[in-house]
A and B are shown apart, each in its own frame.
Chain A
Amino acid sequence: MLQYFLRRLVLTIPTLLVVSVISFTLIQLPPGDYLTSYMAARAAQGEMMDQAAIDAMTRQYGLDQPMYMQYLRWLGKAVRGDFGQSFLWNRPVSELIWERLGLTVAISLAALLFVWAVAFPVSVYAATHQYSFGDHLFSFFGFIGLGFPDFMVALILLWIGYRYFDTNLGGLFSDAFIEAPWGWPKFLDMLKHLWVPMVVLGMGGTAGLIRTTRANLLDELHKPYVTTARAKGLTETKLLFKYPVRVALKPFFATLGWQLPNLVSGATVIAVVLSLPTTGPLYLQALLTQDMFLAGTIVMMLSALTVIGTLLSDILLVLVDPRIRYGGG
Chain B
Amino acid sequence: MTEPRTPSVAASPSEPSARAQRESAQTAEDKIFVASQGQLMWWRFRKHKPAIVGGIIVILVYLVALFCEFLAPYDPVKYDQKDTYAPPQRIRIVDQGKVQSPFVYGLTQSRDPVSYRMMFQVDQGKKYPVRFFVRGSAYKMWGLFEGDLHLFGIDDPEGSIHLLGADRMGRDVFSRLVYGARVSMSIGLVGVILSFVLGITIGGFSGYYGGALDTVVQRIIEFIRSVPSIPLWMALSAALPVDWPPTKIYFGITVVLSLIGWTWLARVVRSQFLSIREEDYVMAARLSGTGEVRIIYRHMVPAFMSYIIAQMSLSIPNMILSETSLSFLGLGIRAPAISWGVLLQEAQNLRAVALAPWLLAPGLAVVLIVLAFNFLGDGLRDAADPYSR
Chain A contacts to B: CB under 8 angstroms = 15, 18-19, 22-23, 26-27, 29-31, 143, 146-149, 151-152, 155-156, 158-159, 162-163, 168, 170, 261-262, 264-266, 268-269, 272-273, 283-284, 287-288, 290, 295, 298-299, 302-303, 305-307, 310
Contact = CB atoms under 8 A, between A and B. Distances in A.
Main secondary structure, interface of A, reads helix
B363 A155 contact: yes
A306 to B, nearest CB: 5
A262 B318 CA distance: 14
A284 to B, nearest CB: 6
Interface size class of B (residues with CB under 8 A): 35 or more
Given A18-B223, A149-B325, A158-B353, A283 B231 contact: yes
Interface of B: 222-223, 225-232, 234-236, 238-239, 241, 321, 324-325, 328-331, 344, 347-348, 350, 353-354, 357, 360, 363, 366-368, 370-371, 374
B329 A284 contact: yes
A22 B235 CA distance: 11
Contacts of B225: 306
Main secondary structure, interface of B, reads helix
A144 to B, nearest CB: 8
A288 B238 contact: yes
Contact of B228 (A31, A159, A261): A261
Given A27-B235, A299-B232, A306-B227, A149 B367 contact: yes
B236 A26 contact: yes
Contacts of B370: 146-147, 149
A265 B348 CA distance: 19
A159 B357 contact: yes
Contacts of A163: 354, 357
Contacts of A162: 350, 353-354
24 contacts: A19-B226, A19-B227, A26-B235, A29-B235, A30-B239, A146-B374, A147-B368, A148-B367, A149-B324, A149-B366, A149-B370, A155-B360, A155-B363, A156-B360, A158-B350, A163-B357, A168-B350, A261-B228, A262-B228, A269-B325, A273-B348, A284-B234, A288-B330, A305-B228
A268 B234 CA distance: 10
Q: Which of B227, B231, B360, B366 has the most CB of A within 10 A?
A: B231
Contacts of B363: 149, 152, 155-156
Contacts of A18: 223
Contacts of A158: 350, 353
Nearest to A30: B239
B353 A299 contact: no
B331 A287 contact: yes
Contact of B366 (A152, A264, A272): A152
A302 B367 contact: no
B223 A146 contact: no
A299 B235 contact: yes
B367 to A, nearest CB: 5
Nearest to B238: A287
Contact of A268 (B226, B230, B321, B347): B230
Given A162-B350, A272-B329, 19 more contacts: A19-B223, A26-B235, A27-B235, A30-B239, A31-B241, A146-B371, A151-B328, A151-B344, A155-B348, A158-B350, A170-B350, A261-B228, A269-B328, A287-B331, A288-B238, A299-B232, A303-B226, A306-B227, A310-B226
A147 B317 CA distance: 9
Given A19-B227, A264-B228, A147 B238 contact: no
Contacts of A147: 367-368, 370-371, 374
A269 B374 contact: no
A265 B229 contact: yes
Q: Which of B232, B236, B238, B325 has the most CB of A within 10 A?
A: B238
A15 B321 CA distance: 29
Given A143-B371, A162-B354, A149 B231 contact: no
A29 B232 CA distance: 12
Given A146-B374, A262-B228, A268-B230, A26 B239 contact: yes
A26 B225 CA distance: 15
B50 to A, nearest CB: 9
A42 B109 CA distance: 44
Contacts of B227: 19, 22-23, 299, 302-303, 306
